[in-house]
Amino acid sequence: MKTTISLIKADIGSIGGHTKPHERLLEACKNRLEEEKGKTLIDYYVTNCGDDIELIMTHTKGVDSKDVHTIAWDAFKEGTKIAKDLGLYGAGQDLLSDAFSGNVRGMGPGIAEMEIEERPAEVFVAFMADKTDSSAFNLPLYEMFANPFNTAGLVLDPKIHDGFKFEVQDVKGHKSITLNTPEESYDLLALIGLTDIYAVKRVYRKSGEIAAVASTEKLSFIAGKYVGKDDPGMIVRAQSGYPATGEVLDPFARPFYIAGWMRGSHRGPLMPVGEKDAIPTRFDGPPRIIALAFSMKNGILVGPVDAFADVGFDKAREKANEMADIMRRHGPFQPHLLPPGELEYATISEVLKKLEPRMKKM
Ligand code: F6R
Ligand code: MG
Ligand code: MG
């Protein structure tokens, strides 16, 4: 039996700004999924990272299943009704169209799905981030699957010593390429270091099994204007033939700067937090990430362990707060402000246009 894990997420409204959804929205989503448990779905887990609701679902319908996407869409629609009744901010924000035709791809929600042959003791980690976009995963995915200074198994474990394959998307040019590591590590880095253009979509074992998948939907491209950051999710398999859970988590112990934060237009640190601390309020951030480690047997989920709640990540949070201070010091200046090509709040062009007539030739 093959099992599919589907992580589908959307921001359908939050309390007091872009902070966190109301409990009733989460309940509405849980109720919808509960109705399908034992029918279309095997199991599910619902949570939030910041203002984004995250549906983690298991089933046997494969990726891009019309049935499963419809359940997710209906759950978000139910939640949106409540969000509108409560007057929540950004109600229904990520449901960009009413013309749903059975696949949420291109409709606003973010999607990360993988179909797998379960190992006897399947382990995966679901990562969910708020106030950033999917290229925020480029650096940690490289560390997990290609950097022996992070992943001891690349050196020590014959099962992963061969390395991995990275499928990279040009999210602007709508192209993709697959590169092998360690052989093509430098080529890979030449691409994925350019985080405004390239995002890692999937990672595979050399033997072909999928190891990781990230959501790379670009909300602003779908809507044609800024509607909010993509706030990506990803699923990463761990242990026995894959990096260990601790190797998958460790890149986040060394916070790094990513694009997003306030108005999707600022560079800031990605702060690893437990589920209860995924409420970004300081300057609408700093950007957050949660990591839930699951066991799974025949599609039944066991757990999760709220991995970043570990006190071992306390220092990372402290560091991320210091890094946030350093960036905030710059106010409206780069490098805190993103360069024009990366600014999600592209309305700055309206401000600049107003000044254009007063520009004198030099
Ligand atoms: C970031 C985000 C927020 C908003 C900001 C302004 O992804 O969603 O930082 O961009 O709060 O929101 P509006 O324009 O709705 O007032
Ligand atoms: Mg929002
Ligand atoms: Mg969000």
Residue 14, C-beta contacts closer than 8 angstroms, at least 6 positions apart: 20, 21, 22, 50, 51, 88, 89, 90
pLDDT at 227 (0 to 100):
67
Beta bridge partners of 37: 41
Q: How far is the CA of 325 from the centre of ligand 3 (A)?
A: 21
pLDDT at 319 (0 to 100):
98
- Closest C-alpha to ligand 1, atom 10: 263
Are 42 and 300 within 8 A, CB to CB? yes
Catalytic site positions: 11, 226, 229
pLDDT at 190 (0 to 100):
98
Q: Which ligand gives the minimal distance to the CA of 263?
A: 1
- Closest C-alpha to ligand 1, atom 13: 263
Beta bridge partners of 53: 10, 48
Q: What is the pLDDT along the chain (362 residues), one digit of tens a residue?
A: 899 999 999 999 999 999 999 999 999 999 999 999 999 999 999 999 999 999 999 999 999 999 999 999 999 999 999 999 999 999 999 888 777 878 888 788 999 999 999 999 999 999 999 999 999 999 999 999 999 999 999 999 999 999 999 999 998 878 999 999 999 999 999 999 999 999 999 999 999 999 999 998 877 777 777 666 789 999 999 999 999 999 999 999 999 999 999 999 999 999 999 999 999 999 999 999 999 999 999 999 999 999 999 999 999 999 999 999 999 999 999 999 999 878 877 678 888 889 999 999 99
Distance CA 141, CA 251 (A): 8
Q: How many CB atoms lie within 10 A of CB 137?
A: 31
* CATH fold group of domain 1-117: Alpha-Beta Plaits (3.30.70)
Are 166 and 139 within 8 A, CB to CB? no
- Ligand 1 atom with the smallest distance to the CA of 262 is 9
3-state DSSP of the chain: CEEEEEEEEECCCECCCCCCCCHHHHHHHHHHHHHHECCCECEEEEEEECCEEEEEEEECCCCCCHHHHHHHHHHHHHHHHHHHHHCCECCCCCCCCCCCCCCCCCCCCEEEEEEEECCCCEEEEEEEEECECHHHHHHHHHHHHHCCCCCCHHHHCCCCCCCEEEEEEECCCCEEEEEECCCCHHHHHHHHCCCCCEEEEEEEECCCCEEEEECCCCHHHHHCCCCCCCCCEEEEECCCCCCCHHHHHHHHHCCCEEEECHHHCEEEECEECCHHHCCCCECCECCEEEEEEEEEECCEEEEEEEHHHCHHHHHHHHHHHHHHHHHHCCCCCCCCECCHHHCCCCCHHHHHHHHHHHCCCC
Are 66 and 103 within 8 A, CB to CB? yes
Half-sphere exposure at residue 305, Cβ-oriented, CA atoms within 13 angstroms? 13
Q: Which of 20, 220, 263, 281 to mutate to test the pocket of ligand 1 (most atoms within 8 A of CB)?
A: 263
In this structure, which residues have their CB less than 5 angstroms from ion ligand 2? 11, 18, 51, 90, 228
Beta bridge partners of 41: 37
Q: How far is the CA of 313 from the centre of ligand 1 (A)?
A: 28
pLDDT at 221 (0 to 100):
73
Residue spans per domain, the chain: 1-117, 120-339
Q: Can you tell me which residue has the tokens 């590169």?
A: 179
Q: Which ligand gives the minimal distance to the CA of 284?
A: 1
- Closest C-alpha to ligand 1, atom 8: 228
Q: How far is the CA of 18 from the centre of ligand 2 (A)?
A: 4
Q: How many CB atoms lie within 10 A of CB 64?
A: 16
- Ligand 1 atom with the smallest distance to the CA of 89 is 15
pLDDT at 226 (0 to 100):
65
Q: Which ligand gives the minimal distance to the CA of 49?
A: 3
Q: How far is the CA of 90 from the centre of ligand 2 (A)?
A: 6
